[in-house]
Structure 1
Amino acid sequence: MFIHLGSDKIIRTSELIAIFDMSIEKSSKISKQFIEQASKDKKTEIIGEEECKSLVVTCNKVYYSPISSTTLKKRANQLLTN
């Protein structure tokens, strides 16, 4: 199954590790270090041109999504319960 992250980006649900609100980047030292390292390794991708509202962590990348973390979590839960 797949989950739509915004714009034209779709990922496999099997690759999904976590979905976070953008505030985590500022509130947690560990998550900030994780994002900085992913950025250095060129493993981040900004989706679309809108303001980023959530971070989606997958096996290979960290995506900055314009869709809220609440909406993405609902989409993921719907796929898991079907």
Structure 2
Amino acid sequence: MFVHIGGGKFLRSDTIIGFFDIEAATQEPATKELLKKAQEEDKVESLCADLPKSIILTDKKIYISSSAVKTLEKRLTEG
């Protein structure tokens, strides 16, 4: 199954590790370090035309999306 994560991007559901609220997640030092390292390795892709609301962690990349976590979870569970 594929999940639309915003910006016209679809991911296979089995590659998604988790959805995280960007505001809450970026308060944690470990998350900041993970994002910094991923950016240095060119493994962060922003899909935002608007204000970013979520971080989507996958097995290979991190996506920044303007879709809310609840919206992404609903898309994942309801197909």
**Is the TM value for this pair above 0.5?**
yes
CA RMSD, 1 decimal? 1.0
Segments of structure 2 that go 5 or more residues without pairing to the other structure are none
Segments of structure 1 that go 5 or more residues without pairing to the other structure are none
Tell me how far 1:78 sits from its aligned partner. Answer: 2.2
Tell me how far 1:49 sits from its aligned partner. Answer: 1.4
Q: SS state of the match for residue 71, structure 2?
A: helix
How far does the alpha carbon of each residue in 1:24-72 deviate from its partner, in whole angstroms, 9 at most, with x for none?
11x1111110011000000000004111110000011100001001111
d(CA) in 2 for partners of 1:78, 1:12:
14
d(CA) in 2 for partners of 1:7, 1:30:
27
Identity rate of aligned residues, in percent? 29
**Counterpart amino acid of residue 7 in structure 2:** S
TM-score normalised by length of structure 1: 0.89
Paired residues in the alignment total: 78
Q: SS state of the match for residue 51, structure 1?
A: coil
- Aligned equivalent of 2:9: 9
